[in-house]
Chains A and B, each alone.
Chain A
Amino acid sequence: MKPRTFFAFVAPSLALMVLFIAFPLLSVLTQSFQNTQAVFTESRVEKCTPGFPNPICSQETILVAQRDASGRALTRTEFVGLDNYRKLLRTDDIARMVAEGRASLSALLAIDFFHALRFTLSFTFITLPFVIGLGLAIALALNATTRRLRGPVIFASLLPFIITPVIGALSIRWLFAGDGVLAGALSWAAGQRVSLFAQAWTIEAIMILYRIWHVAPFAFIIFYAGLQTLNQDTLESAIVDGASRWERLRYVILPHLMPLIIFVSLIHLMDSYRVFDEVVGFSSQAHVVSLQWLTFDLLTPDNTGNRAIGRASASSMLTMVGIVLLLIPLLKRTWRDHRGLR
């Protein structure tokens, strides 16, 4: 294909991605090295609020924004180098702890960023094998049952995957929180009241279970489709050679599915690395937060309009670096494939 034709085909897609992804990303990168402040003066004024029977008035200091000729609020932006990154990672505190010999893993994990990193990574790598394993098990089991059953089972299996994530998380929460029916069942089985949302490890376990429930169907449907393309001759010759069921799985089926297992793993790595819905859906903020939640929290203005754009940008850049590191194996493979094409 000639470069010109190539460009003509790719241009619309490229333009969209540049405008709505690359460009915002570039501005995030710049902002991670900047600090922007409103220019204001403080003034002491009398402020009155309702009271019964008369309003309550008090002297208060308010900040009055300075504005330019057109009435727009002035801001001052300065380049601060790596300051935002330092503040986010609290490098000064860490250096002090090391100097005083108080450095420990638990002290490190008390810092928001590392706490979020710890959770994000363990969430990602704990769910991974379960998603693959469960998906594979369902696909193999379904492939071994009668045809008539397959349609309904596929239908039921896909539900957790297609359902709106917010709704899925809520419906799981309604089951386990407070006096939800499954929490009640667990309490009954344990003989005492079980509060699943009262300590970190149970919340983490529910978040992990939810994610497995939600994503395993995706793995299942991909693996099941892969099983349909399995070469029956190979399988039959393996049987003729006297391969046991386990050996057929180990030496014929798994190698055939391997590219798909890698594909699902990578999609899952990307998706679970940006875990966010679970934190909101299960309101786990008191116990565990994820990297994307941390960024989002810094970025969302509070009710008086403050937000930490600089640190939020630094946090999202570091999150990105993390995902690129996780993706390196896939990048290498794609590069090899691409070279192989030449």
Chain B
Amino acid sequence: MIRKTLAAAALTLLMSASAQAACGFQNTVPIRMLSAGFDAWKAVSSAMAECGNVQAELDQEFAKKHVAAFAANPALYHVGGVATETFVPLLNAGTIRPLDDLVAKYGKHLTPNQLIRVDGKIMAIAMMVNAQHLMYRKDILDQLGIPEPKSYADVMAAAAKIKAANAVPFPVGATMRTGWNLAQDFVNMYMGQGGAFFGEGNRPAVNGPAGIRTLETMKALTAFMDPEYLTGDSTFVQKQFQQGRIAMANFWASRAGALDDPKESTVVGKVKMAAAPIAVPGGKPATTVWWDGAVIAKNISDAEADAAFRVLMEGMDRQMVEANNNAAVWLVEGFKPSAAAEGAIATIQAGTPAYPASQRMGLLHSAIGSTVGDYFTGKLTAEAALKAVEDKYVTAAREAGLIR
């Protein structure tokens, strides 16, 4: 305990010495936060720390700890960093508090986009959006006389030309690592096909023509990918881009900045951001929109919640965004969209739906992620894979009491 207090005190001293002026007030209530650890959170948490007495934990395992840590009384953390999906369990468990009065008190500057409302009540404050959208090597496509691909048919045609010209080892990259990533790719494409995930009474509905078309499109694309695509996560695809090994990918907006970093990228200035391709004529872009933001725990005193929210607002202010403009596609006012954000904004403006996060979707997402890999390795046919997804989902949903 003593060691911890000392460490915290030392940390506080350091922080206050460096940038006391950056925070509008001196915080005296100890505030703890648990969130994911990517760049945007680093920016927000260090801006929060400038107010003093803030202990931020940026932990990759945060989602595993959130539910129990917020259910404790008093809660172990005051502020929680969440995203579209990880917001659901806290909301369902009822361990986060409505923020309407706090927003009225300290959050006048928040834009309507930042207020995540559930049933009319503000339950979370969003700070940024993220989406997978098309990134392509403009130099290569220009050279081969290929216009910007608008649909997956275009992507496939372009890939065939790039392959014939042998411009890069693999024309296409994708985040298709078995598990969460693969399922996310499936969800993107399936929503682009206009498919519905559920029928009556939480029954699954993926085993249909839209599901089969989704799998077939994905499989057709894999012909243009590195054969190790089932182990490829975002970092893998980013590396492929940076090393000039791929020419196109439907890839996370939050990674766009890294492709233009001369210290690690060989393709600086050559990658263009565009809206995600559509899957069917006249459809919406085949992707989903995600948000990241923060919640405040319920099991803490009102005074603590007040201080926590005030500190959080300091972390999500204009100054922070101005200092970290390219770290994310911010929703906070003061954000100036750079070339890196163009693709995400074009995607969202085309009416791309939000990721439909819910408990049942979580179960279905897991079932997809652990099953459809067998279709790509050739163990199962498309129908059999989708049936296996539904079986797995039904088993889990019965256990959870979603299907009676």
Contacts and interface: CB of A to CB of B under 8 A. Distances in A.
Q: Check whether chain A touches chain B (CB < 8 angstroms).
A: yes
B178 A286 contact: yes
Contacts of B115: 48, 55
Contact of A306 (B114, B373, B396): B396
Contacts of B380: 110
Contact-residue bracket for chain A: 35 or more
A299 B110 CA distance: 39
Contacts of A65: 92-94
A40 B119 CA distance: 17
B400 interface: yes
A49 B359 contact: no
Nearest to A283: B231
Contact of B354 (A56, A287, A308): A56
Contact of B363 (A56, A67, A282, A306): A306
Contacts of A198: 227-230
Contacts of A300: 64
A291 to B, nearest CB: 15
Nearest to A200: B377
A209 B359 CA distance: 40
26 contacts: A45-B119, A46-B118, A46-B119, A48-B118, A51-B113, A55-B113, A62-B358, A71-B299, A73-B93, A87-B395, A110-B374, A179-B243, A196-B228, A285-B179, A285-B373, A286-B178, A301-B64, A302-B365, A303-B85, A303-B88, A304-B361, A304-B362, A305-B359, A306-B359, A306-B363, A308-B399
Interface string A182-206: 0000000000010111111000000
B71 interface: yes
A285 B178 contact: yes
A121 to B, nearest CB: 20
Contact of B113 (A54, A282, A311): A54
Given A62-B358, A178-B226, A308-B399, A51 B373 contact: no
Closest 9 CB pairs of A and B: A304-B362, A305-B89, A198-B227, A286-B178, A45-B119, A286-B230, A286-B373, A303-B85, A37-B401
Interface string A280-304: 0011111100000000010011111
Contacts of A311: 399
Contact of B129 (A50, A87, A305, A310): A50
Given A110-B379, A179-B243, A300-B64, A49 B228 contact: no
B226 A195 contact: yes
Contacts of A46: 117-120
A47 B400 contact: no
Contacts of B93: 65, 73, 305
B366 interface: yes
B376 A286 contact: yes
A71 B115 CA distance: 25
B235 to A, nearest CB: 11
A250 B370 CA distance: 49
B89 A177 contact: no
B68 to A, nearest CB: 10
A226 B185 CA distance: 55
Contact-residue bracket for chain B: 35 or more
A308 B233 CA distance: 25
Contacts of B63: 301, 303
A180 B210 CA distance: 38
Nearest to B349: A52
A50 to B, nearest CB: 4
A50 B231 contact: no
Nearest to A57: B117
Interface string B201-241: 00000000000000000000000001111110100100110
A330 B370 CA distance: 37
A199 B229 CA distance: 11
Interface of A: 35, 37-38, 40, 43, 45-58, 60-65, 67, 71-73, 76, 87, 110, 112, 177-179, 193, 195-200, 282-287, 297, 300-306, 308, 310-311
Contacts of B377: 199-200, 286-287
B348 A52 contact: yes
B325 interface: no
Interface string B374-397: 101101100000000000000110
Contacts of B229: 198
B199 interface: no
A178 B236 contact: yes
B88 A305 contact: yes
For A51, A177, A308, which residue has the most chain B Cβ atoms within 10 angstroms? A51
B43 interface: no
A304 B129 CA distance: 19
Contacts of A308: 396, 399
Contact of A62 (B91, B114, B363): B91
B258 interface: no
Interface string B92-116: 1110000000000000000011111
B354 A49 contact: yes
B340 to A, nearest CB: 16
Contact of A37 (B73, B126, B399): B399
A62 B118 contact: yes
For A178, A304, A306, which residue has the most chain B Cβ atoms within 10 angstroms? A304
B113 A63 contact: no
A60 B228 contact: no
Given A283-B177, A301-B67, A308-B396, A50 B114 contact: yes
B32 to A, nearest CB: 21
Interface in B63-99: 63-64, 67, 71, 73, 83-86, 88-89, 91-94
B126 A303 contact: no
A67 B358 contact: no
B92 A305 contact: yes
B262 to A, nearest CB: 20
Nearest to A311: B399
Contacts of A197: 228, 230-231
Contact of B71 (A52, A73, A284): A73
Given A37-B401, A45-B119, A51 B348 contact: yes
B64 to A, nearest CB: 6
Contact of A35 (B118, B353, B399): B399
A184 B178 CA distance: 24
A310 B399 contact: yes
B178 A64 contact: no
A178 B84 CA distance: 32
A306 B362 contact: yes
B291 interface: yes
Contacts of A199: 227, 377
B331 interface: yes
B294 to A, nearest CB: 14
A83 B372 CA distance: 26
